[in-house]
Amino acid sequence: MLKTSVAGKILKMVLRVIILLIAGLLSFFIWQTITEFDPDPASELEIIGNATELKDTLTLTTYNIGYCGLGAEMDFFYEGGTMVRPEKELYDRYLGEVMQRLDNFSGSDFILLQEVDTMAKRSWYANQFRLIRNKFTGHQTFFAMNYKAWVPMPVMQPMGKVRAGIVTIGKAIPADAVRYAFNSGYSWPMSLFMLKRCYLLTRYNTGNGKQLVLVNTHNSAFGDAAEIRGKELSQLKEMMTTEYAKGNYVIIGGDWNQNPAIFDSTAVQDNYLVKSIRPPVPADFLPEGWQYAWDPLHPTNRDVDIPYQEGRTKTTLIDFFVLSPNVGLVSATTTPTGFKESDHQPVSVKVFLKK
User: What's the pLDDT tens digit per position in 250-289?
Assistant: 999 999 999 999 999 999 999 999 999 989 999 999 999 9
Closest CA to 300 of 252, 261, 268: 268
Residues 243 and 175 in one domain: yes
For 231, the domain range is 41-353
- How many domains does the chain fold into? 2
Q: Does the model's pTM come out above 0.95?
A: no
Q: How far is CA 295 from CA 60, 312, 354, in A?
A: 13, 21, 22
155's CB contacts (< 8 A; 6+ apart) are none
pLDDT above 80: residue 141: yes
Weakest mean pLDDT among 124-138, 143-157, 204-218, 252-266: 143-157
CATH of the domain at 247: 3.60.10.10
Residues 88 and 135 in one domain: yes
Q: How far is CA 86 from CA 68, 123, 236, 302, in A?
A: 9, 8, 34, 17
Residues 56 and 118 in one domain: yes
Residues 62 and 29 in one domain: no
Closest CA to 213 of 255, 182, 185, 241: 241
When pLDDT is averaged across residues 240-244 and rounded to a whole number, the result is 98
Residues 119 and 154 in one domain: yes
pLDDT category of residue 31 using cuts at 50, 70 and 90: low
> Looking at residue 28, what is its pLDDT?
64
> Judging by DSSP bridges, how do beta strands 211-218 and 198-205 pair with one another?
antiparallel
Residues 5 and 71 in one domain: no
Helix, strand and coil in the chain, % to nearest 5: 25, 30, 45
When pLDDT is averaged across residues 347-355 and rounded to a whole number, the result is 96
Residues 302 and 207 in one domain: yes
Decide which of 290 and 208 is more confident.
290
Residues 22 and 87 in one domain: no
- Cα–Cα distance between 147 and 150 in angstroms, integer? 10
- Cα–Cα distance between 294 and 206 in angstroms, integer? 25
Residues 155 and 18 in one domain: no
When pLDDT is averaged across residues 177-192 and rounded to a whole number, the result is 82
- Residue 39 backbone zone (phi > 0: left; psi -120 to 50: alpha; other: beta): beta
Contact 314/334 with Cβ under 8 angstroms?
no
When pLDDT is averaged across residues 132-141 and rounded to a whole number, the result is 95
CA dihedral 25→31→32→38, nearest 10 degrees, is 160
Residues 19 and 166 in one domain: no
When pLDDT is averaged across residues 203-228 and rounded to a whole number, the result is 91
When pLDDT is averaged across residues 42-65 and rounded to a whole number, the result is 94
User: If 0-12 CB within 10 Å is exposed, 13-18 middle and 19+ buried, where does residue 259 land?
Assistant: buried
Closest CA to 217 of 205, 229, 204: 229
Residue type, 292: Y
Residues 15 and 135 in one domain: no
DSSP state string for 210-222: -EEEEEEEE---S
> Looking at residue 184, what is its pLDDT?
79
Decide which of 152 and 344 is more confident.
344
Closest CA to 249 of 309, 188, 201: 201
Q: Which helix (H) or strand (E) holds 32?
A: helix 2-34
- Cα–Cα distance between 328 and 289 in angstroms, integer? 11
Closest CA to 182 of 149, 219, 147, 156: 219
Closest CA to 109 of 80, 148, 72, 138: 138
